[in-house]
Amino acid sequence: MIALFAVTDAGRAAAAELAPALGAELHPLDDLAALWPRLDAAVFCLATGATVRLIAPLLADKRTDPGVVCVDEARRFAVALTGGHEGGANALAGRVAAVLGAQPVVTTASDAAGSTGLDELAAALGAQVVGDAAAAGTALLDGAAAVENPLGLPLPPLPPPRTGPRHVIVVTDRTGPPAQPGPGTAGPATTRVVPPTLVVGLGSARGVPASAVHDVLRRVEDEHGFDLRAVRGYASVDVKADEQGLLDAVGTLHTYPADVLAAVAVPNPSEVVRAEVGTPSVAEAAALHHGGPGAELVVEKIKGANVTAAVARVRVRGRLAVVGLGPGAADLRVPRAEAELRRASVVVGLDQYVDQVAHLLRPGTEVRASGLGDEEQRAADAVALAAEGRAVALIGSGDAGIYAMASPALEKAGDDVEVVGVPGVTAALAAAALLGAPLGHDHVLISLSDLHTPWPVIEQRVAAAAAADLVTCFYNPRSRDRHWQLGAALDAFRAHRPPATPVGAVRQAGRPGQRVWTAPLADFDPAAVDMLTTVVVGSSTTRMVGGRMVTPRGYRWA
Ligand code: SAH
């Protein structure tokens, strides 16, 4: 039982709106103590201070106390006050906020990122919700939904179950169980999340009416049990591109040349069709071809009145997001990186980077953190998890594609994995912004680490950059075991550039302890540089202006 309490007119008005949505009732404040032991939750349309004073004498144990949510008079916030996890107040705050158009306020650590809601689950898959979305959504947030995923789609993280399921959510392109068990019948209710996994191929005679097309499509649902809401596209052969009946029935028709369709292996080819249109199959071949590599036929050609249809299901693939987190500061992390962290059910990365974003992860996210040096293994793990069908985020600092995890991962990933790259602010950009405008003209990045590259190759590239008058950013410039390389590199530049050429260095850009300094090339001391530093050597036109390093846009007016 959920009880509502309010004392002012505004509070009572809010409670009146909440009552039907929560299946709750408004009670006089005087009844609070008597009701308390029987309550699952209580919503107070009162200030937090007043609420705290009211419930303080009643609070006993967080495992048994009801969850308490507070709503301010102006309905701006729904605050989960006590019993966030055990009492379900966090989830309730979300429901209350949704009803009132308020902001849920959740302060328990693990839920700070909020759970994946039903609408987000659907959005992540591009799916439609069919059924009682409100009941399914509430059950999901309450940890009372069983999510079934027979197609093996890469689902986002789901709130861990807290109670036995009272609702089943099935991710499927099949039409649902015919009757939804309602109150009083056995078994939990079912809601379907219908992803766009199907392609329908269509063939027809000239002048087919739209009604005949609708009839054959209805049979896809009624006789074969596939939900037309799961159709991502309709396909046919080029000569049907202007077939009015098809267009009227399905809107957009993707068409392919007959010789392309003729090359598709199908179970039911026809010589009659080949003689007419130049391909032995239209419906089956178009469905398979538009479905892309790995698509499989789930409904073989069915014949209606002058129209044929076949259905292919696209290959379901796991998802690998390769995500750069930027140099460290939260506000230098792009919003899409955070969205991908919420989308992933497994996050793979170096422990220090995983720690950096732990508060952004949704409850239910699996974390695979490992120590320095395991780079190849980390990449292999991430790819293997995605190949199993999971939604994986492989994270790295700066940009994940620059001297980082993207290449070892994508060297291993086949086309059975969907890959999404999210760029990050790389060290050179973070450093350049702190130094001024050193990258205003042509520049190059060079890593001085000989872990992956032999020193003679690095040396050659350094010499070429020096000779080409390129502004040069050194990554991995110097470590305890590699102490002389930066000095050697700077000597190569001294042979080509004036002694006053500015050299900039940034240590721990965007992190605590950030340090920025510059010196003329003649004097720059490599000893102050370590592995947490990026060094930027100016070109012959780079100069110091107002204490900042500036490389002019061009030479013409320099
Ligand atoms: N993927 C990272 C680079 C990894 S190589 C990126 O895009 O930034 C590691 C090197 O990057 C370090 O040795 C250092 O030279 C540089 N680096 C990374 N983060 C840095 C930071 N916050 N400040 C300065 N340099 C940094």
- 420, 432: one domain: no
How far is the centre of ligand 1, averaged over its atoms, from the C-alpha of 431 (Å)?
Answer: 9
Q: Which of 75, 107, 139 is the last residue of a domain?
A: 107
What is the per-residue pLDDT for 558? 47
- 84, 129: one domain: no
- 351, 434: one domain: no
In a domain, 352, yes or no: yes
Global pTM reads 0.79
- 432, 540: one domain: yes
Q: In this structure, which residue's CA is closest to atom 26 in ligand 1? A: 427
- 342, 280: one domain: no
Q: Which residues pair with 281 in a beta bridge?
A: none
- 76, 94: one domain: yes
Q: In whole angstroms, what is the distance from residue 512 CA to residue 231 CA?
A: 51
How far is the centre of ligand 1, averaged over its atoms, from the C-alpha of 352 (Å)?
Answer: 14
Residues in the chain: 558
Q: Mean pLDDT across the stretch 181-198? A: 80
pLDDT tens track for 314-342 = 999 999 999 999 999 989 999 999 999 99
| Domain interval for residue 417 | 318-425
Q: Could you tell which of 534, 535, 536 is best to mutate to test the pocket of ligand 1, judged by most ligand atoms within 8 Å of the CB?
A: 534
In a domain, 558, yes or no: no
Q: In this structure, which residue's CA is closest to atom 2 in ligand 1? A: 398
In a domain, 112, yes or no: no
In a domain, 555, yes or no: no
Nearest ligand 1 atom, CA 404: 1
Nearest ligand 1 atom, CA 510: 22
Using 50, 70 and 90 to split pLDDT, how confident is the model at 177? Answer: low
In a domain, 133, yes or no: yes
- 419, 436: one domain: no
Whether residue 359 contacts residue 330, with contact meaning beta carbons closer than 8 Å, is answered with no
- 366, 270: one domain: no
Q: How many domains does the chain have?
A: 5
Here the CATH number for the domain that contains residue 32 is: 3.40.50.11220
- 446, 543: one domain: yes
How far is the centre of ligand 1, averaged over its atoms, from the C-alpha of 399 (Å)?
Answer: 9
Distances (CA, A) of 414 to 319, 386, 432: 11, 10, 36
pLDDT tens track for 132-159 = 888 898 899 888 999 999 999 999 999 8
Whether residue 341 contacts residue 114, with contact meaning beta carbons closer than 8 Å, is answered with no
Q: In this structure, which residue's CA is closest to atom 17 in ligand 1? A: 427
- 371, 299: one domain: no
How far is the centre of ligand 1, averaged over its atoms, from the C-alpha of 475 (Å)?
Answer: 6
Q: In this structure, which residue's CA is closest to atom 12 in ligand 1? A: 476
In a domain, 557, yes or no: no
pLDDT > 50? residue 178: no
Per residue in 2-34, is it b (16+ CB within 10 Å) or e — as a string? Answer: bbbbbeeeebeebbeebbeebebebbeeeebee
pLDDT tens track for 432-465 = 999 999 999 999 999 999 988 999 999 999 999 9
Q: Which of 264, 286, 313 is the last residue of a domain?
A: 313
Q: Which of 378, 400, 425 is the last residue of a domain?
A: 425
Q: In whole angstroms, what is the distance from residue 373 CA to residue 371 CA?
A: 6
Q: 474: closest CA among 498, 496, 454, 450? A: 450
Q: In whole angstroms, what is the distance from residue 6 CA to residue 186 CA?
A: 37
Here the CATH number for the domain that contains residue 337 is: 3.40.1010.10
In a domain, 380, yes or no: yes
Q: In whole angstroms, what is the distance from residue 228 CA to residue 225 CA?
A: 9
By CB neighbour count within 10 A (0-12 exposed, 13-18 middle, 19+ buried), where does 172 fall?
buried
How far is the centre of ligand 1, averaged over its atoms, from the C-alpha of 321 (Å)?
Answer: 20
Ligand 1 binding pocket, CB closer than 6 Å: 327-328, 396-399, 402-404, 426-427, 431, 475-477, 506-511, 531-534
What is residue 302's DSSP assignment? Answer: E
Q: In whole angstroms, what is the distance from residue 395 CA to residue 350 CA?
A: 8
Whether residue 375 contacts residue 408, with contact meaning beta carbons closer than 8 Å, is answered with yes
